[in-house]
Chain A
Amino acid sequence: MTTTTDTNNVADAHEEHGHDDHHHHAPAGLTRWLFTTNHKDIGTLYLWFAFIMFLVGGAMAMVIRAELFQPGLQIVEPHFFNQMTTVHGLIMVFGAVMPAFTGLANWLVPMMIGAPDMALPRMNNWSFWILPFAFLILLASLFMEGGGPAFGWTFYAPLSTTYSGDSTALFVFSVHIMGISSIMGAINVIVTIFNMRAPGMTYMKMPLFVWTWLITAFLLIAVMPVLAAAVTMVLTDKFFGTDFFNAAGGGDPVLFQHIFWFFGHPEVYIMILPAFGIISQIVPTFSRKKLFGYASMVYATASIALLSFIVWAHHMFTTGMPVAYEMFFMFATMLISVPTGVKVFNWVATMWRGSLSFEIPMMFAIAFIVLFTIGGLSGLMLAIVPVDFQYHDTYFVVAHFHYVLVTGAVFSIMAAVYYWLPKWTGKMFDITLAKWHFWCSLVSVNLLFFPMHFVGLAGMPRRIPDYALQFADFNKWISVGGFAFGLSQLIFLALLIKACRHQGEPVSSQVWDGAEGLEWEIPSPAPYHTFETPPVVK
């Protein structure tokens, strides 16, 4: 005990000088946000950053859909179109979805496990504040001579090594910074969960959002370094004469695809596992029942994570693999639908005979379950080798991954924001606006992505600024859906601005009738510092 007090005193002596911010709870002004080490502040920063990036990436999607509104080239040059598809993908993956989940983890993980903050608060500050610079570099390259990256977010060699512009170096550095940020965020989550759980908070008592994030953090640790290595190889191939992917020098461009997808497939689970966690928090609350099959949810999440390392080559069926390998990757991929099915059935079983009520977070959660399952089913279709030869690089693929990423990951993030926003601000958000946001988004997102299945099956290739005349009608509708979905997000923006101005009815600490967990036991709004003394975990 004495030793603990001693270290406390030593820590105090250190803190005395540099850390005056501990003396007043919410320092004001820009420096509050610049120097903050508070997990709630950093969570807020991440979430706003992600939302701004969502709007920026969305604006690029609007350019793409405007160009594709009619067949023929009318609005942008093909080279600029390619930059839009590339940067749209990069921004949505690394700038919107991933930081949004990290923001939610920052806000919620400490509150859910009864910890006072993240384990490494200063590193937490760094991991956020390097992100804006990464995207500043990436976006700035669009305005430079020769334009930004135009080789697709997958930056396949030799597109990125032989046929790319000089801005490739900027692309590589920005991806490095994004990777470092993600790795630091993941380290923080793991250390917090390992070392800072309140007494009595055993692993199998942790809320599922914490569990899914723990597993996601391990995926990040495992594959972000592989991405860093891949972009480094592209950099040296392009600028320093190495031949990792250059066939003339003894390299192999197919090797790039192996390395990239060894990162890329776990990456797609990085973007969906926290979503599973969010849905597993929301569905029990509004069903007023315990989550059905808690342990199986944990094991299913872990299985999905492990399987994600042995399915990467299903992105490469058309590169000319021997049949035996294609069979292996096909069946391994199909195997993932088992744990994923466990999850979907558990959510449905949780709702079964529950006292359901349909508040906004629950509406998004149910939309997630239905629409994500559609995305999962088209994924299963793509896993089948012989038909993948038909679907490969068509709009069917675009439809598939937008169903899992937009109506999956993005809808889960919106569900999470609506679910925890009253806890963060202490006020109920504008429910009328939220309903408008939900219904406009739901209708427009399906108008946007569902017909993509049809044009894809009919053979419309992705990433091309023009298309054959027979696809004109569907594309017109898709573009209308796209513009409507984009505009719907402005409703969300208005709602969030109102919420941040603390307008609305005050809420109780539990907020939602039926919500359970440590974060619902602290007052609303959540105080700047929580759980300095550990809570009692039953």
Chain B
Amino acid sequence: MLNDETNKTTEQVEQSSQPAYVQQDHSKTVNKILLLVGGMFCFAFALVPLYDVFCAVTGINGKTNTEAAVYEAVDVDETRTITVDFIARTNSGMPWEFTAQTKKVDVHPGKMTEVAFYVRNPTGRDIIAQAVPSVTPGTASLYLNKTECFCFQHQPLKAGEEAIMPMVFYIDPQLPENITFFTLQYTLYDITESAQEDAVEVVMN
């Protein structure tokens, strides 16, 4: 019974590709969905700057400022002592020796402190390095002000050269009460290739 009906309609179909009740334009719906697809693709790229802004506000990824802070005369809070650990490491494939000369320092918030890091390029070639800082817990990075840091510039070392790299910082007295110590880690990356490419581009221009 039902079978017959369907057979009849298949004959009708030979004349028209689709029955009348579905003859409608789908392009409106399709366009809306395509807009959503394009929007989500752009959103994923928008996440890159959004993430940076979010991290700068909340400090969740432990990045410190990339520019030097200006020391504002703040009251040194003698009642609190914060312990800062320093860790120096090199990225895999980066052959430099890199150590923190000061492993640990106790400071009062607001007081300027200078520490130093030692680097040596034991290889037979010139290498340009970039130090990337990371603070744990991340929120402490919002209160760490560096007035001078080797991480603000590229660090070129000729073959066999060594150097002492200084870092001057103070801790904002606003540092939350629950943070009594934090760790500042620097990782050295070999950026010789990309730095030279940039230099070539500058010359070419």
Which residues on A are within 8 Å of B, measured CB to CB? 4, 7-8, 11-12, 15, 19, 22-23, 25, 115-117, 119-120, 183, 186-187, 190-191, 194-196, 199, 221-226, 228-230, 233, 241, 244, 247-250, 252, 254-255, 258-259, 262, 320-322, 325, 509, 521-523, 527-530, 532-534
**B44 sits at the interface (CB 8 A):** yes
Q: Are B37 and A221 in contact (CB under 8 A)?
A: yes
Interface centre among A191, A262, A321, A528 (most CB of B within 10 A): A191
Q: Are B187 and A247 in contact (CB under 8 A)?
A: yes
Q: Can you give 13 contacting A-B residue pairs, CB < 8 Å?
A: A23-B14, A116-B19, A120-B30, A190-B29, A190-B33, A196-B22, A221-B37, A221-B40, A248-B189, A258-B51, A527-B3, A527-B7, A532-B10
Q: Are A255 and B51 in contact (CB under 8 A)?
A: yes
Q: Are A187 and B33 in contact (CB under 8 A)?
A: yes
Q: Are A195 and B51 in contact (CB under 8 A)?
A: no
Docked pose: A11 CA to B12 CA in angstroms: 14
Q: Are A228 and B29 in contact (CB under 8 A)?
A: no
Q: Are B21 and A229 in contact (CB under 8 A)?
A: no
Q: Which of chain A's residues have a CB closer than 8 A to the CB of B12?
A: 532
Partner of A12 from B9, B16, B26, B38 at Cβ < 8 Å: B16
Contact stretch, chosen from B81-89, B107-115, B129-137:
B129-137
Q: Are B40 and A19 in contact (CB under 8 A)?
A: no
Docked pose: A11 CA to B17 CA in angstroms: 7
- How distant is B204 from chain A, measured CB to nearest CB, in Å? 16
Docked pose: A194 CA to B30 CA in angstroms: 11
- How distant is A253 from chain B, measured CB to nearest CB, in Å? 10
- How distant is A203 from chain B, measured CB to nearest CB, in Å? 15
**Known contacts A190-B33, A255-B48, A322-B137, A530 near B61 by CB under 8 Å:** no
Q: Which of chain A's residues have a CB closer than 8 A to the CB of B175?
A: none
Q: Are B19 and A509 in contact (CB under 8 A)?
A: no
Q: Which of chain A's residues have a CB closer than 8 A to the CB of B6?
A: 522-523, 527, 529-530, 532
Q: Are A529 and B10 in contact (CB under 8 A)?
A: yes
Q: Are B91 and A320 in contact (CB under 8 A)?
A: no
- How distant is B198 from chain A, measured CB to nearest CB, in Å? 10
Which residues on B are within 8 Å of A, measured CB to CB? 2-3, 5-7, 9-10, 12-24, 26, 29-30, 33-34, 36-41, 43-45, 47-48, 51, 55, 58, 60-63, 66, 91, 130, 132, 136-139, 187, 189-191, 194, 197
Q: Are A191 and B23 in contact (CB under 8 A)?
A: no
**Known contacts A225-B40, A247-B132, A325 near B60 by CB under 8 Å:** yes
- How distant is B166 from chain A, measured CB to nearest CB, in Å? 21
**Known contacts A222-B36, A523-B6, A529-B9, A241 near B194 by CB under 8 Å:** yes
Docked pose: A183 CA to B39 CA in angstroms: 13
Q: Are B15 and A223 in contact (CB under 8 A)?
A: no
**Known contacts A12-B15, A248-B132, A187 near B30 by CB under 8 Å:** yes
Docked pose: A241 CA to B193 CA in angstroms: 10
- Closest A residue by C-beta to B19: A532
Q: Which of chain A's residues have a CB closer than 8 A to the CB of B3?
A: 523, 527
Further pairs besides A7-B23, A12-B15, A225-B40: 7, Cβ < 8 Å: A186-B33, A226-B44, A262-B44, A262-B47, A522-B6, A532-B10, A532-B19
- How distant is B172 from chain A, measured CB to nearest CB, in Å? 18
Docked pose: A262 CA to B187 CA in angstroms: 28
Docked pose: A248 CA to B194 CA in angstroms: 10
- How distant is B50 from chain A, measured CB to nearest CB, in Å? 10
- Closest B residue by C-beta to A319: B61
Q: Are A199 and B44 in contact (CB under 8 A)?
A: no
Q: Which of chain A's residues have a CB closer than 8 A to the CB of B16?
A: 8, 11-12
Q: Which of chain A's residues have a CB closer than 8 A to the CB of B34?
A: 187
Docked pose: A342 CA to B83 CA in angstroms: 50
Q: Which of chain A's residues have a CB closer than 8 A to the CB of B14?
A: 22-23
Q: Are B9 and A225 in contact (CB under 8 A)?
A: no
Q: Are B137 and A252 in contact (CB under 8 A)?
A: no
